[in-house]
Each structure stands twice: as structure tokens, then as C-alpha cells.
Amino acid sequence: MGSFYTSHTVRGPSQQAVLAHMTERRAFVSREEDGNLTVLDEASECQDPQVLGALAQSLSSFFACPVLALLNHDDNFLYLELYENGAKTDQYNSNPAAFSEDDEDGFGVPQGGDAARLCAAFGVADVGAVEAVLRDESFMMAVERHERLAEALGLPAFSVGLGFTYAEADDGVPENCFVPSAAAA
């Protein structure tokens, strides 16, 4: 059985500002690293892209910043949505055939993902490195793709492979990285 987790990487606001905004939600908010922080939201763990996107849209709109919403489903695929100033500007699925009846083996060519837009949103220059991660079909586990994407975009490494459920169980959470929201405390 693979990993199941969701997360939101937010570029710009402070941990304190995001915690103050998340008072009604059960979540963990990471410390800031290179201008980015990670939100692990309980409601998003249902693996519904609409729930995942709604929080990303809300955070992006409220803080007028980029937010990368990420979903790893059983390590079969990595799904991403990028929001900028409240608008969804990009979407990516590493394995769009995962639930398709048309593809017998359950694997497909990665779809979506604008490497240049992702790089611009997160202040990274190496578009080629991000594009290589998005298009590489050799990843066996979605968490491996997430790890390489985090490296290429300069996102916090401690957030890879981690969602609210794992954080609440203290399963692999690096010490002093995440603070619970008031609703999760």
C-alpha cells in the first residue's frame, strides 16, 4: 500500500499569518523555509480535488500569493493545482489513466503542468529541471516524483510524504517543523 496525503505549499505569508487565518480548520502549518511554508489540512485528506482546490484558492486569494495544492493517491499518481492571486493557473496529473476504464494497465502519460509557470511562481530559474520531473514516466512511486519536484522548485523537503493524517499521528514529522492550528490543538 502506498502513501495517501495532501498538502498546500504557500509562498509569501508568515506562519503566524497563516495560523491566524486557519483558526476554523484543523491543520498543521510549517515553519517558513526560503519564503515557502506548508499547510497540512485535515479536510483535504479526503482526497477530493474540489476540497483541495477550495483551500488553495482561499489561501491564494486571501494572501495574494501562489499556492501549490498537492495530492498523492496511493503513490499511484501525483496531482497538482497551482493558484495565483486566487485563480487556478495550472493543473497537473502524473497518471491521468489511474481511474480510466479505457486504459487496462492503469498508467498514462503525465498531463498538464506548466514548468515555466511553476518556476515563476516559486522563484526558480531552472525550468528544464522542473519539466524533466513533470514528464518523467519512470517514477514507480508518486512520493518519489514529489521529492524530486520539491528539490527542483526549492520547496521544503520536510513536507514531502506528509499530510495531516501522518502529522497528527506524528508519523515521520521532523521536530519543530509544524504547529497545529487552534482548531487542531
28-42, 104-118, 154-168: the lowest-pLDDT one: 104-118
pLDDT of residue 159: 86
Q: Which amino acid is at 151?
A: E
CB atoms within 10 A of CB 27: 27
pLDDT of residue 102: 57
| CA–CA distance, 143 with 75 (Å, rounded to integer) | 6
Q: Looking at residues 111-128, what average pLDDT do you find?
A: 97
pLDDT of residue 157: 92
pLDDT of residue 56: 98
Does residue 104 belong to any structural domain of this protein?
yes
13-17, 94-98, 113-117, 173-177: the lowest-pLDDT one: 173-177
Question: Nearest 5°: phi and psi at 19?
Answer: -60, -40
Q: What is the pLDDT of residues 67-79, one digit of tens each?
A: 999 999 999 999 9
Residue that the C-alpha cell 527542483 belongs to? 152
Residue that the C-alpha cell 477530493 belongs to? 48
Q: How confident is the model at residue 161 (pLDDT cuts 50, 70, 90)?
A: very high
pLDDT of residue 127: 98
Does residue 185 belong to any structural domain of this protein?
no
- 142-150's contacts with Cβ under 8 Å and 24+ in sequence apart are 142/2, 142/3, 142/72, 142/73, 142/75, 142/76, 142/77, 142/78, 142/94, 142/95, 143/2, 143/3, 143/72, 143/75, 145/78, 145/94, 146/70, 146/72, 146/78, 149/78
Of 163, 169, 174, 160, residue with least CA distance to 4: 163
| CA–CA distance, 133 with 11 (Å, rounded to integer) | 21
Does residue 89 belong to any structural domain of this protein?
yes
pLDDT of residue 134: 97
Average pLDDT, the chain: 92
Number of domains making up the chain = 1
Q: What is the pLDDT of residues 38-58, one digit of tens each?
A: 999 999 999 999 999 999 999
CB atoms within 10 A of CB 24: 9
| DSSP state, residue 100 | -
Of 22, 90, 87, residue with least CA distance to 61: 87
Question: What is the domain extent for residue 62?
Answer: 4-180
Q: How confident is the model at residue 2 (pLDDT cuts 50, 70, 90)?
A: confident
pLDDT of residue 86: 98
Question: Nearest 5°: phi and psi at 18?
Answer: -70, -40
- Concatenate the DSSP letters of all residues of 125-149 into one string: --HHHHHHHHH----SSHHHHHHHH
Q: Looking at residues 145-168, what average pLDDT do you find?
A: 95
Does residue 141 belong to any structural domain of this protein?
yes
Does residue 41 belong to any structural domain of this protein?
yes
Q: What is the pLDDT of residues 93-119, one digit of tens each?
A: 999 887 655 545 556 789 999 999 999
pLDDT above 70: percentage of residues in the chain: 94
Question: Nearest 5°: phi and psi at 146?
Answer: -60, -45
